[in-house]
């Protein structure tokens, strides 16, 4: 990147332009205050199963937008091209990863429906504003994600475990982090668990299933939130003939403000 600005200060349009040009970075910490989204693109005959899976599992799968078949635009980011503006994609055939390109123009089809799903990066701005440190951002890492032992409610051909993100939080700030994120139900809401990885069937925090491991500091407690990679994991397990997703941590940055997804904020 030739730019001198810190990614947190980029506008979403600037970030998307960089990604459209081929830049490929995890987007945690980018474009402070703007909503990031998970992307899932499936043939139209799989769209009902995906939408129903999300409806039945709203905590990990909050749907922010759904396109009409073949469309690559979204109301959440006017001018964006969903085929090029995510920093890294994954292309799947029958559940097998066949490509990890920085655009999917060559893979596009007329029958594709795209789901944009809320991301816990959205509440990170609110956490930071409340004085909660974000260890993975400070360490320059992607967030750590794990398949948990909690089963999602199945829908049609889709079933699978809840995927969670983990953030080490200083013990005296866990309540603040909980309260702040609870106010954002459209982007995963409050933690699903605090404290014991084994309670979620996670054996080793140092070996996440997606993203990077994160180093805790003394006095930190692991706090787990539902993760928007959940529907992607369920979809892949059911092996649709074709699908496109973002690469975990490489999100679509929208023009929606994180604050749009806060509930009852003015009462504080």
Where does this chain bind a second copy (CB under 8 A)? 47-48, 51-52, 55-56, 63, 66, 179, 182-183, 185-186, 189, 263-264, 266-268
How close are the terminal C-alpha atoms of the chain, in Å? 40
| Least distance between a second copy and beta carbon 266 (Å) | 8
| Least distance between a second copy and beta carbon 154 (Å) | 9
Q: Which is nearer to a second copy, 61 or 91 (CB)?
A: 61
Give me the torsion for CA of 41, 46, 50, 56, rounded to 10°.
170
Q: Which is nearer to a second copy, 96 or 266 (CB)?
A: 266
Vertex 167: Cα angle to 163 and 172 (nearest 5): 135
**Alpha-carbon separation of residue 133 from 32, 58, 138, 197, 259 (angstroms):** 14, 26, 8, 20, 19
CA distance 229 to 166: 13
| Least distance between a second copy and beta carbon 118 (Å) | 12
Q: Which helix (H) or strand (E) holds 113?
A: strand 112-118
Asked whether 253 and 34 are in contact (CB, 8 A), the reply is yes
Here the tokens at position 20 are 């459209």
Instruction: Return the SS3 of 60.
Output: coil
Here the tokens at position 44 are 């139209």
| Least distance between a second copy and beta carbon 189 (Å) | 8
Q: Which is nearer to a second copy, 106 or 264 (CB)?
A: 264
Asked whether 247 and 90 are in contact (CB, 8 A), the reply is yes
Bridge partners of 66? Answer: 115
| Least distance between a second copy and beta carbon 46 (Å) | 11
| Least distance between a second copy and beta carbon 68 (Å) | 8
Instruction: Return the SS3 of 206.
Output: coil
Q: Which is nearer to a second copy, 27 or 74 (CB)?
A: 74
CA distance 160 to 154: 7
Q: Which is nearer to a second copy, 158 or 247 (CB)?
A: 158
Q: Which is nearer to a second copy, 179 or 239 (CB)?
A: 179
| Least distance between a second copy and beta carbon 33 (Å) | 20
CA distance 151 to 158: 11
Q: Which is nearer to a second copy, 51 or 229 (CB)?
A: 51
């Amino acid at each position: 990147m030739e730019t001198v600005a810190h990614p947190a200060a980029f506008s979403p349009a600037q970030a998307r332009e960089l990604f459209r040009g081929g830049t490929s970075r995890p987007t945690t910490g980018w474009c402070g205050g703007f909503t990031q989204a998970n992307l899932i693109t499936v043939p139209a005959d799989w769209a009902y199963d995906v939408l129903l899976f999300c409806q039945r599992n709203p905590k990990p799968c909050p749907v922010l937008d759904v396109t009409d078949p073949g469309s690559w635009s979204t109301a959440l980011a006017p001018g964006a091209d969903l085929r090029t503006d995510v920093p890294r994609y994954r292309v799947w055939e029958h559940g097998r990863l066949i490509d990890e390109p920085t655009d999917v123009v060559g893979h596009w089809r007329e029958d594709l429906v795209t789901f944009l799903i809320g991301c816990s990066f959205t509440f990170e701005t609110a956490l930071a504003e409340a004085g909660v440190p974000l260890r993975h951002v400070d360490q320059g890492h992607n967030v750590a994600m794990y398949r948990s032992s909690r089963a999602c409610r199945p829908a049609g051909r889709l079933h699978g475990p809840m995927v969670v993100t983990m953030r080490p939080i200083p013990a005296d700030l866990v309540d603040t982090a909980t309260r702040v994120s609870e106010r954002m139900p459209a982007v995963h809401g409050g933690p699903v668990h605090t404290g014991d990885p084994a309670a979620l069937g996670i054996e080793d925090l140092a070996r996440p299933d997606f993203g990077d491991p994160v180093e805790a500091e003394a006095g930190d407690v692991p706090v787990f939130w539902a993760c928007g990679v959940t529907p992607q994991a369920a979809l892949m397990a059911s092996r649709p003939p074709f699908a496109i997703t973002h690469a975990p941590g490489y999100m679509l940055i929208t023009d929606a403000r994180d604050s749009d997804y806060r509930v009852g904020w003015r009462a504080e």
